[in-house]
């Protein structure tokens, strides 16, 4: 979830009403969610699509091994 604060507020309120999770990836939104006591990823998104196909499995496995502690996506 990115975008403006009012869009984030509306999205979070609707998600709570329907019992859904909200995916927030931009740091300003993550800070807002943390202030609300809601879970967000602790580390940047691991984008496997950015890896070249050649040797992708090995590099992806290494990235998984190197993930820092916390909630990762």
> What pLDDT is attached to residue 5?
81
| Cα radius of gyration rounded to whole Å, the chain | 15
* Helix and strand totals (H; E) in the chain: 3, 0
> What pLDDT is attached to residue 2?
55
Residues of the chain below pLDDT 50: none
Other C-beta atoms closer than 10 Å to the C-beta of 1 total 17
> What pLDDT is attached to residue 18?
95
> What pLDDT is attached to residue 3?
65
- Locus of tokens 């190197």: 66
Token digits of residue 35:
């202030």
> What pLDDT is attached to residue 59?
87
């Amino acid at each position: 979830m990115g975008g403006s604060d009012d869009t984030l507020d509306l999205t979070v309120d609707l998600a709570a009403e329907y019992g859904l999770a909200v995916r927030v990836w931009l740091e300003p939104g993550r800070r807002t969610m943390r202030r609300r006591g809601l879970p967000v990823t602790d580390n940047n998104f691991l984008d496997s699509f950015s890896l070249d196909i050649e040797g992708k499995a090995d590099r992806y496995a290494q990235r998984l091994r190197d993930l820092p502690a916390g909630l990762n996506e």
